[in-house]
Structure 1
Amino acid sequence: MVLFLMMINFILLGVVFFQYRTQKSKDANLRYIYEKLQDILENQTGEKLLVVTDDKELQKLLVAINHLLVAKQITNADHAKLVMSMRKMLSNVSHDLKTPLTVVLGYAEMLHTDPTMSVDERQALLKKVHMKTIDVIELIHKFFDLAKLESGDKEIELTRINMNEVCQENILTFYDLLMAKGFSVHIDIPKEPLYALGNVEVLNRVLNNLISNAITYGDDGKTLGMTLRSDEKVVCIDIWDKGKGIAESQIDKVFERMYTLEDSRNRLYQGSGLGLTITKRLVEALGGEIHLSSTSYEKTVFIIKLKRMKY
């Protein structure tokens, strides 16, 4: 009996010792996790928590913490990118507003201080003042539009729209200009009507931006095309030209806010750098996507994808 009780005590002592060691190991792991987290947060490192343990619950905790650390790193990277973008935007806004306003001020001083100026000269300067003022107003409208789009304040009503009609109307608007500039025009719009979820006013603006861009800055290729196509889920509009195009290394960046190119094919990437950003936001507001592919002097194409609707 005594021997049996001694064995029981020995087993209980073993259990207590095992629990003590287990708890001590868990406390050490928790202390390490706490200290490591403090270090990661204070120094903003990209490290993860690595702990060797058989504790299933602690393993789950580590996985969850590491997921949060990854999410925080992504958020920090996005925030840093946004800060840089905003700084660049403020710099560009200052430059883009200052330049035409300085010119307007110069013209105004000439009109005010030169009594010998002829009527024709005054009219010419007033015309220049008017044009520069329009440039400033258009730039301010772009910033305002982008701010509304990104804040979600701009409400856009989505309905079923006839894509054939929208495409035809937009390309016909530019047809005389294309002919006058000697462009070869390629239009591929099917006879069968295609419908998509969208907004006619917004889509008109998107197509107007892209067609104007292709005409003005793809001019060296003297070719412009519009293709309307679809599959079971989406309706696509391709606006393409055969101009200089965009380098492959820059294609993923051209839709970024305030992104500009030193040797750009068009002004949408220069100056304020807002043209394609606004176009992209408008397409996204329609629930769609816009993509760009480019091969110099072969084909530069903007592809708009919208959700297809039944008849």
Structure 2
Amino acid sequence: MVAVLLILSIVLALLNVMQWVGRKKRAGQLGYIIDKLNAIVDSSSQEQLLLFTEYPEYRQLLIAVNRLLLQTRQSETGFMRTEIAMRRMLANISHDLKTPLTVVLGYIETLNRKGGLPQEERERLLDKVHAKTVEIVELINRFFDLAKLESGDKELPLTRLHINEVSRNSMLMFYDLIESEGLQADIDIPDKPLYAWGNEEGLSRALNNVLSNAIRYGSQGKVVGMKLREEQGRVLIDVWDKGKGIRERDQELIFERMYTLEDSRNKRFQGSGLGLTITKRLIELMGGEIRVASKPYERTVFTISLKKLP
């Protein structure tokens, strides 16, 4: 009997020791996790939290912590990109507003200093002041439109659209400009009616922005085209040209706020850098998407994709 009690005492003692060792090990691993996590956060390190452990609950904790670290880094990266974009946007806004305002100021000073200007010259300068003022107002309106789109304040009611008609009307609006620029219009819109879920005003504006860009940047290719097609439950509108194209690195950025191609600051290609950003926001509000593909002097195509309706 005494021997049995002695054995039980030894077993209980061993169990206590094993539990103590286990608690000590758990505490050590938990302390390591806390210290390592603090070090990663304090140093803004890109490390992950790694620990070889036999405890399943600790493994689950490590997975959750690493997911949180990844999300935090992605948020920080997104914030930094947004901050850089905002700085670039403010710089471009300053440039785009300063230039026409300086011109307007110059014309007004000329009119004030030279009181004896002939009526014809005075009217010519006033027309230029008016044109530049309209340009400033349009630019400011684009800023407000983009702000409304991104804040969700702009309502875009969706209905069933006859895409053939919307596409034809947009192309017709630019037909005279295309001919005056010495370009050929290549239009491929089928007779079969295609319907999609969207907003007529928003889609027309998006198409107008893309067509305007095709004429402005693709004129060297001497052709601007539009093709309407369907594919896997989607209605696709291709607007294309055969101009000098868009470099691959620019293709990923042209839909960002105020991003402009290198030649867009010269007089012929001057633009605000907001048109494609507004276009992308409008298409996304319709549940669609827009993408670009480009091979210089072969084909640069912007494709708008919308959900097809019967």
Aligned to 2:226: 226
Aligned to 1:113: 113
Aligned to 2:151: 151
Alpha carbons of structure 1 residues 307 and 267: separation in structure 2 relative to 1, 3 Å: farther
1:132 equivalent in alignment to 2:132: yes
Task: In structure 2, give the amino acid aligned to 1:196.
Answer: A
Show CA shifts across 1:226-250 (max 9, x none): 1111123210000001111101222
Aligned to 1:306: 306
Aligned to 1:257: 257
Task: Tell me if the contact between 1:49 and 1:62 (Cα under 8 Å) persists in the aligned partners.
Answer: yes
Aligned to 1:209: 209
Structure 1 position 297, deviation (Å): 0.8
Alpha carbons of structure 1 residues 7 and 270: separation in structure 2 relative to 1, 3 Å: farther
Structure 1 position 127, deviation (Å): 1.1
Show CA shifts across 1:182-205 (max 9, x none): 322211112211110001111111
Aligned to 1:100: 100
Aligned to 1:281: 281
Task: In structure 1, give the amino acid aligned to 2:201.
Answer: E
Aligned to 2:183: 183
TM-score normalised per structure 2: 0.95
Task: In structure 2, give the amino acid aligned to 1:109.
Answer: E
Percent identity between the two aligned chains = 51
Aligned to 2:78: 78
Task: Tell me if the contact between 2:263 and 2:269 (Cα under 8 Å) persists in the aligned partners.
Answer: no
Task: In structure 2, give the amino acid aligned to 1:79.
Answer: F
Aligned to 1:291: 291
237-246 vs 4-13, which deviates more?
4-13
Alpha carbons of structure 1 residues 174 and 61: separation in structure 2 relative to 1, 3 Å: same
Q: Give the whole-Å Cα distance in 2 for the aligned partners of 1:176 and 1:144.
A: 30
Alpha carbons of structure 1 residues 145 and 231: separation in structure 2 relative to 1, 3 Å: same
178-187 vs 295-304, which deviates more?
178-187
Aligned to 2:165: 165
Q: Give the whole-Å Cα distance in 2 for the aligned partners of 1:264 and 1:245.
A: 13
1:18 equivalent in alignment to 2:18: yes
Aligned residues: 310
Task: Tell me if the contact between 2:214 and 2:240 (Cα under 8 Å) persists in the aligned partners.
Answer: yes
27-36 vs 298-307, which deviates more?
27-36
Task: In structure 2, give the amino acid aligned to 1:242.
Answer: K
Structure 1 position 303, deviation (Å): 0.2
Aligned to 1:174: 174
Task: In structure 1, give the amino acid aligned to 2:205.
Answer: R
Task: In structure 2, give the amino acid aligned to 1:186.
Answer: D
Task: In structure 2, give the amino acid aligned to 1:53.
Answer: T
Task: In structure 2, give the amino acid aligned to 1:306.
Answer: L
Alpha carbons of structure 1 residues 304 and 176: separation in structure 2 relative to 1, 3 Å: same
Alpha carbons of structure 1 residues 282 and 70: separation in structure 2 relative to 1, 3 Å: same
Task: Tell me if the contact between 2:265 and 2:271 (Cα under 8 Å) persists in the aligned partners.
Answer: no
Gaps of 5+ in 2: none
Task: In structure 2, give the amino acid aligned to 1:210.
Answer: V
Task: Tell me if the contact between 1:216 and 1:266 (Cα under 8 Å) persists in the aligned partners.
Answer: no
Show CA shifts across 1:254-284 (max 9, x none): 1111222223599999653211111111111
Structure 1 position 132, deviation (Å): 1.0
Alpha carbons of structure 1 residues 69 and 267: separation in structure 2 relative to 1, 3 Å: farther
Q: Give the whole-Å Cα distance in 2 for the aligned partners of 1:33 and 1:198.
A: 51
Task: Tell me if the contact between 1:89 and 1:258 (Cα under 8 Å) persists in the aligned partners.
Answer: yes
Task: Tell me if the contact between 1:260 and 1:269 (Cα under 8 Å) persists in the aligned partners.
Answer: no
Alpha carbons of structure 1 residues 264 and 295: separation in structure 2 relative to 1, 3 Å: farther
Task: In structure 2, give the amino acid aligned to 1:240.
Answer: W
Q: Give the whole-Å Cα distance in 1 for the aligned partners of 2:21 and 2:5.
A: 24
Task: In structure 2, give the amino acid aligned to 1:188.
Answer: D
Task: Tell me if the contact between 1:269 and 1:276 (Cα under 8 Å) persists in the aligned partners.
Answer: no
SS at match of 2:252: helix
Task: Tell me if the contact between 2:264 and 2:271 (Cα under 8 Å) persists in the aligned partners.
Answer: no
Alpha carbons of structure 1 residues 176 and 103: separation in structure 2 relative to 1, 3 Å: closer
**Cα RMSD for the two superposed structures:** 1.8
Alpha carbons of structure 1 residues 151 and 4: separation in structure 2 relative to 1, 3 Å: same
Q: Give the whole-Å Cα distance in 2 for the aligned partners of 1:11 and 1:268.
A: 91
